[in-house]
Structure 1
Amino acid sequence: MTSEHDIPADVLERFSFYAREVSALTIMFHSRVAEEMGLSPTDEKCLDLALRSDGPITAGRIAELSGLSTGAVTGVIDRLEKAGYVRRVRDPHDRRKVLVEVTLPEERFAHLFIGAQQTLHEVLSQFTPDERDVLERYHRSLIEVFRRRVVKG
């Protein structure tokens, strides 16, 4: 039995190609950003996770969000701390807990992302508000399913 939501093989193949292309370009972009920051791509993305959190974040939460082991995240935090991007601080509500706090303002790296923002603006300007709503729904769903399957295993 088929439904209106069945995906023809050629459509799945095209979207797989697009996803692989975007993924490759994103990895290359973040590799360049990481290099300019003196970091590995993994360290740069973990720093990004810390930057996007609402204040200091635990190493365990970075591990959950990244899919890395807690041991790997400890190494990431060590390197970020050594490079001066983060510091470890005690949780004011539970002194036994250690939090990771970003020490440099996000604005310091904004220049590295200007081209990406311009690209996003150029592409989104080609779509109507209703089309952007569909694109947003697609991306939210993709992120949710991808995080569930890749990060959470």
Structure 2
Amino acid sequence: MTREHDVPADELERFGAYARETSALTVALHSRVAERMGLSPTDGRCLALAARAEGPVTAGRIAELSGLSTGAVTGVIDRLERAGYVRRVRDPHDRRKVLVEVATGDGDRFSPLVEGARQALREVLSRFSPEERAVLERYHRASIEAFRQRVVDT
């Protein structure tokens, strides 16, 4: 169900400001978590992208998702592999292809680093009814899709 509505300039400005503030705080949080893991923010972001994939992922896909060059991603993977966060594995369907697999077992070790953010989100969401949360979820899904089309898929 897609409906188009005019958005007044003042609303657009407010929502843009909310998005910029949320983005800045998210970057700060991710940087803090990466630092505590002994990683640079870029390495932490690439690790997070690989961890969200459904199974091993190619370096090329990490490059697409991160916006980094494939050469830069190779360096990131080298550092993540040396730190024990990922390993390179052969693609079982094409032995010539190398995939990046996130090492298992570190999730419990680093979950305390993001627990504060998870608790803050829980507190905020508890202020909204299930119906309101459904609208918020619809908004976030639409935003993610729109920005992904303009950033990742282009």
TM-score (norm 2): 0.92
* Corresponding residue for residue 71 of structure 1: 71
SS in 2 for 1:25: helix
- In proportion to residue count, which structure has more strand? 1
Q: Match for 1:32: what amino acid?
A: R
Match of 2:39 in 1: 39
Whether the 8 Å contact between 1:59 and 1:73 is mirrored in structure 2 is yes
Alpha-carbon distance in 1 for matches of 2:10, 2:49: 35
Aligned-partner residue type, residue 125 of structure 1: S
| Identity %, equivalent residues | 74
Matching residue of 2:10: 10
Quote the residue 1:96 is aligned against: 96
Q: Is 117-126 or 67-76 further displaced after alignment?
A: 67-76
Q: Which residue of 2 aligns with 1:122?
A: 123
- 2:98 aligned with 1:82: no
Residue aligned with 2:87, SS:
strand
Q: Contact (CA 8 Å) 1:90, 1:99: kept in 2 or not?
A: yes
Query: Partner of 1:94: helix, strand, or coil?
Result: coil
Which stretches of structure 1, 4 residues or more, deviate above 6 A after TM superposition?
Answer: none
Q: Are the counterparts in 2 of residues 67 and 152 from structure 1 also a CA contact under 8 Å? A: no
Task: State the TM-score, normalizing by the size of structure 1.
Answer: 0.92
User: Is 10-19 or 96-105 further displaced after alignment?
Assistant: 96-105
Residue ranges of structure 1 left out of the alignment (5+ in a row): none
Q: Match of 2:39, as an amino acid? A: L
Number of residues paired by the alignment?
Answer: 151
Q: 1:7 deviation in Å?
A: 0.8
Distance in 2 between residues matched to 1:4 and 1:149, nearest whole Å: 19
d(CA) in 2 for partners of 1:127, 1:44 = 31
Partner SS, residue 54 of structure 2: coil
Once residues 13 and 32 of structure 1 are traced to their aligned partners in structure 2, the CA distance between those partners, rounded to angstroms, is 29
Q: 1:4, CA displacement in angstroms?
A: 6.6
> Could you say which residue in structure 1 is the equivalent of 2:24?
24
Give, in angstroms, the shift of residue 107 of structure 1.
Answer: 2.1
Q: Letter of the aligned partner of 1:12 in structure 2?
A: L
